[in-house]
Amino acid sequence: MCLAVPMRVEKIEGSLGTVESEGVKIQADFSLAPEAKIGDYVLIHAGFAIEVLKPRQAEETLNLIRELVREAEAE
């Protein structure tokens, strides 16, 4: 039940908002991620946004993965 899906924040009014992915829109509660802004991607779990996704760290992770396998080729 830890399944959480990244969706884009479309609208926030108080502690409720709308998030969307590929045209699918749902209402979510932002009490657990009050720092979320429109345009952010958030993780949605059980009707709540639980965390904001960090694009810079996502890039870093991908680079780390590419590094790890490049070492493989170099050897």
Cβ distance to another protein smaller for residue 13 or 22? 22
Q: Cα(9)–Cα(30) distance, rounded to whole angstroms?
A: 10
> If DSSP codes are grouped into helix, strand and coil, which group holds residue 6?
strand
- How far apart are CB 53 and another protein at their closest, in Å? 6
Contact 33, 42 (CB under 8 A): yes
- How far apart are CB 38 and another protein at their closest, in Å? 16
- Is residue 9 exposed (0-12), middle (13-18) or buried (19+ Cβ within 10 Å)? buried
- How far apart are CB 37 and another protein at their closest, in Å? 15
Query: Using CB under 8 A as the criterion, which residues of the chain lie in contact with another protein when the complex forms?
Result: 1-7, 21-27, 29, 31-34, 41, 43-48, 50-51, 53-55, 57-62, 64-66, 68-69, 71-73, 75
